[in-house]
Structures are given as C-alpha cells and as structure tokens.
Structure 1
Amino acid sequence: MRLAYPGWLTLLVFMLLPILRERWRGRIAWPSLAGFRQRDAGFSPWVLVHRLPVLLRSLAIGALVVALARPQSVGGVIRIAAKGVAIMAALDHSSSMNTVDFPADADTHKISRLEAALATFSRFVEGREDDLIGLVVFANYPDLACPPTLDHRFLIESAAAVRSARPGDDGTNIGDALAWSLDALRRTTPAKKVLILLTDGNNQPAVPHPLDPGLAAELARDLGVTLHTIAIGKAGGVVHGTDSKTDLPVMTEVEGPNISLLQKLAEITGGRSFVATDADALDQVFETISRLEKSQIQNEIHTRYDERFLPWAAAAIGLLTLDRLLTSGRLRRLP
C-alpha cells in the first residue's frame, strides 16, 4: 500500500475543527445561574450521544483527506527486458532422434536422443529467465514450436509437446531450419542474438530447392547472429520404426552426425561446435553455451497500482450523511 499524494495528509489537522467549533460555539445567554441549586446529575449516555455528530464530522474530514492522498495497492509488476540475449534453438526431431543410446544415469539407464535434448533444453531455459528464447523443430520441414518469448513456462510446455517426425516428414533439412530460426530472431529487439543447432544427422532434405546450410550460416553472420552447433549421438545406433507402406516393423542403422559440416557452420559465425554422446555431456555443452552467452540485462520494471481511494471517499460521504440525519432529528440543537 502507498499514497500517491502523501502531502495531502497535512490537512488531517482540520479534523480538530468540529471539536474546536463545538467548544467555542455560542450558547443562549442566561442572566445568572446563581439561584439554581447544583446537584450531581450522574452519568448520562445522552452526553456521549449528543457529542456523536462532532465525532462523525471529524472522522469524515479524516476520511476525505485520506481519499485525496489516493491510497494505492500494488496490482502487478511488469518486467520488460530492455537488453538481454535472444536465443533460438533449432532441434532435429527426425526418426533417428528416437535412437535410445543416451545413458541417463550411472545405472546405464538409457533414453532417446530426443528425450535427452528436450530435457536439457528445458533446464537451460530455466536458467535464462531474462532472455527471449524460442524453439524451432525440424526434420524434412521446419516448424516454429514457440517464438522467442519471456514466457518460459509456455516455452517449456511447448517443448514437452514435441514428438518425433511423422514418416512423411522424415529427413534432416538443416538449411531451412536455420532460415526459420533466423527469421524468428530477426523480429526480436535484443542486440545480441544466438542460434543453437542440435542434430544427430547429416543434411539430407527430401524437399525441392532446400536452402544450403552454408548459405544459411553466412546469412546468420550477416545478421550478427552467433551459431553454436551440437552433434548429438554417434554412428552405429539402430532405430526401430514402422514401414510407411507395409506397416511392418523395420530397423534402420543410424548414420551419425556430420561433425565436419557442423564445425564449418559454427566457424562461419564465430560460434562453437560441440559433440554430446550422453546426457551429462549434453548438460555440459549447454552450460558452456550459457557461460559464453552471458546476458547484459537492463530490465525496465513497471509497477501497476490499483486505486483504493473510493472506500475512503464513500466513508466520508456516509459519515456526513449520518451526521445530517442525526442533527435533523432528536439530536438537533439550538444555537
């Protein structure tokens, strides 16, 4: 709670006016009371009742002064990131990312590459609360899962909803995925912009006229975007799936990431290239990127205040109304 205009409180001294007026108020003059015998009349409640209008007027003045000072309560805080880092992650969700070869703990429990990537990305997001972060997922076609946002809860929920690509969309189209991510970054305001590419395969798009990944990296460099690449997994894994024509179960050997291509793409923009073959290594990669891309935050904090003067104004009106009713009835007094 705060007062928008606390200077008005100096007028609270006027609460004494009704009391002083009552004390100095003129009475009907009697020639003399010397002939009247004085006796103790005892305490009468009517003495207090007759003083009630004076009290009501004093309280009404006090309530009116508080209303003029405009009491306010904090209705909410709006944070605007004036300077920070805009980050886009381009995550491969092709069928090879379903390969279950990522050790998740010391007991050799394994999870899929996609599960490991999504879990690590979510933890990365939780540690960058002041940055705009978004997510593009891609296989044969890119898809904007979440635009760059400060609403990280929504981003993490969007990441949790990511599933492996459908059979008709299977492939690895790195160039178009980078282009979609750059387009999302281009619309953001922070001067520092970062793109993180995570993939476990080679550039193998099955679409006409895909964008060359090298050209996409050069475009990122021209836009001032730093590209970091992460090669997930290694060659030799096996993916269990279903043939799209016969619906029969099939097993496909995983080729592995094109590490030399990923290194070249990162070098073009001055970024770093990493290889992660287990969940711990992937965590370390994201921690390294987080240290490299430190935020220079200059947040603008806007506090919304809700007005609370109406109850005080209503109280002043109510007290004056009650005073009027009392003084026009039984408590009416002669001058």
Structure 2
Amino acid sequence: MHFATPLVLLALIALGAGIVAYVIVMRRRRRTAAQFANPALMPSVAPRGPRWRRHVPLLFYAIALAVLVVAAAKPEKTVAVPDERASIMLVTDVSGSMTATDVAPNRLSAARVAAERFLDEVPKRIKVGAMAFNNRPRTLQRPTRDRAAVRDALRRLEPSGGTATGEAIKAALQLLRPPLKLGEKAAPAAIVLLSDGKSVTGREPVDVAKEAAKAKVPIYTVALGTPAGTIEVPRGGGRSGTVTERVPPDPETLRAVARISGGRSYAAGDADQLSAVYDRLGSQLGKKKENRDIGYLFVGGALIALGLGAASSLTFFGRVV
C-alpha cells in the first residue's frame, strides 16, 4: 500500500500531540483535586467518578479521526488487472516428433487440448493468435478476441516435418510488433512457445530471443515430452518399413529463450502437467499493474469507530458527546 498525497499524514502528528496534551491535562486535574481534600475522605465528600469510562468515547473518536486522516492521504493498492491492449501468440510445434505417445494420446493432441484450456483462462478482452511451425512458421490466426476463431485454428494443427524454432519466434515477433505510427506506443505482448524438440533449421532461437527482449515481448516456453519419447520413421535408402527414433525434448534451449526474453520456462512431462502450465499462464499473461484507491475502506472504518464512540457515550453518560 502507498499514498497519493502522503504529506496529509503529517496531520497525525498534530493528533498525537493533542492526545498527549489531553493526558497531561487529566493528570493535572487529578493532582489539583487532591490538594483540596484528604484522599481518605474523598469517597465520603465526592461522588464516585466515571474513571476509565470517560476516556472510552474519546478514544474511539480519536481513532476515527486518525483513520480519516489516512483516508485523506488517498491510500492506494497496486493490483494486476487485464490490459485490454495486450496480445498473445500461441506458437505450437507441429513437427513429426509431436506424434510421440509418451504424452497421451500424443504430444500434439495434448498440446491442442491444453491450449484450449488456456483460452478459457485468458481474460476475454485480451487478443490471442495461433501459429504452427515445423520447417517453417505458418500463421493460423492473427491476434483476435474471437476465441472461436482461435479454437478453429488450433484444430487445424497437423504434424509433419522438422523444427525451426527461431523462425517461428521471429514470425510471431513480427506479428506482435508491427511498425508504429509517430507517437504511438507499443501494446503489451507475449509469446507462448510450445515445442518438444531441438531446432534443426533456420535462425538460432537464442539470437531471436534477444530481439524479443529488445522489443519487450517475453517468451514463455513449454518443453513437452519425456526423454523416453519415440516415433516411428520410414527406413532410409528406399527400404520398406519403419525404425524407432528417440525424440527427447530440448528444455535447455527453451529455458535460455525464456530467460533472455524476460519470460519463464516450464517443463511438462504429461498432459495434466501441460494443462496446469497453461492454467498458470492464462492467469499471468495480459495483465498490467494499476493503482486502485482504497480510501473508502478507511472511511468505512472511521464511521465504525465514530459509531462505537457515540454508542459508548450514550451508554455511559446518556449523551452522544
């Protein structure tokens, strides 16, 4: 919590000084009264006073005044709210290794289901786009608030070819950071990159991640699959049949891409983990920090303290003040 006008809080010093003065006056009155009567005779010549009860209403009124001073200083709380200008690109690897079944029913199907869950978590006013990549990137849907269009795009994901992660990041970056007009500010943007394999062609992913960092577009990476993942590929040399090929994920490169760009990296060994990752991302992305005035809470507290002061005064002395 912080204050928009903190200098107003200096009034609390005056309030504290008033309380000290009140205590001094009360003690002086007791000493003055004691000078005119024998303490042993006081109960018989003077009625029993209210003692501590006289201070209770004033204590509540002092608390109310202090809380009102805090409210006048305009207390604010920083909260994360959806940034309606934000855009997110879902960039999904559709290389042949995504047919591996170490994530049931296979990596690509699990990625598609999890991405749709991600759409449920992202605030409705945030634009989301979809891109697929293997040897080259392919834009399936430009950033839009139309969730049905993005879901249709995700259903068109089909596995084939190799992996060009750097090219995919570059293409997504160009979509999210088009040339700006004079005086125009870039909208918040982020890339969610899901891949299971090592980039084998095109730009180096780490080099493109540096460009993303300069453009202030964080990349959130998800390494899908397990080291034991395999696929069946045709035999070479014109021979019939297939051979089993290992397709482990490449979490090291993906972690580097996330770190350099200012994003975060995740590893998902199964479909449940992947869905959980997307749930977390959906609640994190497309947010901005905003100051919210919470002075009304202090005003409410002051009114409660005033009410308690009035109630105690009526109870003890039959009057409000």
TM-score, structure 1 as length reference? 0.56
Q: Secondary structure at the match of 1:118?
A: helix
CA contact (8 A) 1:236 1:253 kept: no
Q: Report the equivalent of 1:148.
A: 143
Once the two structures are superposed, residues 53-89 of structure 1 have per-residue CA deviations (whole angstroms, 9 ceiling, x without a partner) of: xxxxxxxxxxxxxxxxxxxxxxxxxxxx983421001
Question: Larger C-alpha radius of gyration, 1 or 2?
Answer: 1
Q: How does 1:1-335 map to 2 (within 5 A)?
A: 83-102=84-103, 110-128=104-122, 129-165=124-160, 170-187=161-178, 191-205=187-201, 210-242=202-234, 246=238, 248-296=240-288
Once the two structures are superposed, residues 12-47 of structure 1 have per-residue CA deviations (whole angstroms, 9 ceiling, x without a partner) of: xxxxxxxxxxxxxxxxxxxxxxxxxxxxxxxxxxxx
CA contact (8 A) 1:92 1:137 kept: yes
Q: Secondary structure at the match of 1:87?
A: strand
Count of aligned positions: 203
Distance 2:171 2:253 in 1: 19
Query: Which protein has the bigger helix share?
Result: 2
Instruction: State percent identity of aligned pairs.
Output: 28
CA contact (8 A) 1:85 1:190 kept: no
Alpha-carbon offset, residue 213 of structure 1: 1.0
Which amino acid in the other structure matches residue 222 of structure 1?
Answer: K
Alpha-carbon offset, residue 248 of structure 1: 3.4
Distance 1:94 1:248 in 2: 22
Q: Secondary structure at the match of 2:105?
A: strand
Structure 1 pair 96/82, CA: closer, same or farther in 2 (3 Å)? closer
Alpha-carbon offset, residue 144 of structure 1: 0.8
Distance 2:141 2:236 in 1: 29
Q: Report the equivalent of 2:41.
A: none
Distance 1:96 1:297 in 2: 39
TM-score, structure 2 as length reference? 0.59
Q: Secondary structure at the match of 2:192?
A: strand
CA contact (8 A) 1:84 1:190 kept: no
Structure 1 pair 194/184, CA: closer, same or farther in 2 (3 Å)? same
CA contact (8 A) 1:84 1:297 kept: no
Distance 2:254 2:265 in 1: 7
Alpha-carbon offset, residue 195 of structure 1: 0.4
